[in-house]
Amino acid sequence: MKMHVLSGGRLRMRKSVYIPDADRQETIELPVSCYLLRHPQGNVLFDTGCHPSTIDHAEERWGPMARAMVPISRPGDNVIDQLKVAGLVPDDIDVVVNSHFHSDHCGCNEFFRKATVICHAKELEAASAADADKIGYLPVDWKQPMPVETIDGQRDLFNDGRIVLLPVPGHTVGMTAAMVALDKSGSFLLASDSVALRANLERDLNPRNTWNAEQSSKSMEEIRRIEAAGTTIVYGHDDEQWKSLKTGAEFYD
């Protein structure tokens, strides 16, 4: 199985959202990542990043949220263009897993018409609630006609241990990570926003945009155990780590 790490956009935000004791004026750049997993039984995409229209018209799609998370993506920083490096088009994707339903993680779901979408049952419930758009769940992103399969616990996608979905609630109620086991490169935990930055894990710091701090800290505790057992943790939005990863056409196998 091959894993491609693909750019799903780039954002500028206040650093203090993630590191609460940072200077209020300081901003940081955040990579947005998607992961293409070429499993022998199907092509899986873990998260779909920001919609390409956010490069020029973020406010039209995101509303006031576009002022707190400012897209600074270059053209081509979206999963549709990025799939081309692996020679794929959206119809080649069989399964889309959404770690959660925030706009920078499911913004391109609409393009994957032949895929089944997998998410946590509680995430679907939260996104479907009245006023959910006020806490970052935009129907234009997550609400699509494709079939949705929900999970409510750990789920081994192909029953071979290669892609195992793991609920890690805290950032959102249905936040889900993926354990990916590769033959040569070893195992990776795609943590998404259960750990946005390395500093969150190291300092046990919950970002301001955390749904439930107690659950988030518990999830991070589990992730530290996973890391100690030899798994590489891939953070949701850590630019320093992003620069050290193989991305685009390069892959892990």
* 47 part of the interface to Zn ion, by CB under 5 A: no
CA distance 133 to 124: 13
CA 101 to chain centre: 9
Min separation Cβ 216 and Zn ion, Å:
14
Q: Is 104 an interacting residue with respect to Zn ion (CB under 5 A)?
A: yes
Print the binding letters for residues 193-222 with Zn ion: x by CB under 5 A, - otherwise.
x-----------------------------
Q: Which of 1/8 has CB closer to Zn ion? A: 8
Rg (CA), the chain: 17
238 in contact with Zn ion (CB under 5 A): no
Candidates 82-90, 146-154, 192-200, 243-251; binding stretch for Zn ion (CB under 5 A) = 192-200
In the complex with Zn ion, the residue whose CB is nearer, 61 or 162, is 61
Burial class for 228, CB neighbours closer than 10 Å (0-12, 13-18, 19+): exposed
* Site of tokens 């479907």: 128
Which among 38, 13, 20 has a CA at the least distance from the CA of 199? Answer: 20
**Listed ranges 96-104, 123-131, 147-155, 216-224: which one lies at the site for Zn ion (CB under 5 A):** 96-104
Q: Show the DSSP H helices in the chain as ranges.
A: 15-18, 54-62, 65-68, 79-83, 103-106, 121-128, 139-142, 198-202, 213-228, 239-244
Report how far Cα 96 is from the mean position of its chain's Cα atoms: 11
Candidates 14-22, 44-52, 73-81, 98-106: pick the segment binding Zn ion (CB under 5 A): 98-106
Please calculate the CA angle 43-4-173 and round it to the nearest 5 degrees.
75
Compare residues 77 and 104 and give the one whose CB is closer to Zn ion.
Answer: 104
How near is the Cβ of 102 to Zn ion at its closest, in Å?
5
The residue (of 1 and 77) whose beta carbon lies closer to Zn ion is 77
- Residue with smaller CB distance to Zn ion, 104 or 123: 104
Stretch that binds Zn ion, among 101-109, 139-147, 200-208, 213-221 (CB under 5 A): 101-109
Task: State the minimum distance, in angstroms, from the CB of residue 87 to Zn ion.
Answer: 27
- Segment near Zn ion (CB under 5 A), from 37-45, 73-81, 102-110, 212-220? 102-110
Give DSSP secondary structure letters for 200-237. Answer: HHHTTPPPTT-S-HHHHHHHHHHHHHHHHTTPEEEESS
Name which of 230, 242, 236, 147 is nearest 185 in CA terms. 230
Q: How many residues bind Zn ion (CB under 5 A)?
A: 2
* Chain residues in the site for Zn ion (CB under 5 A): 104, 193
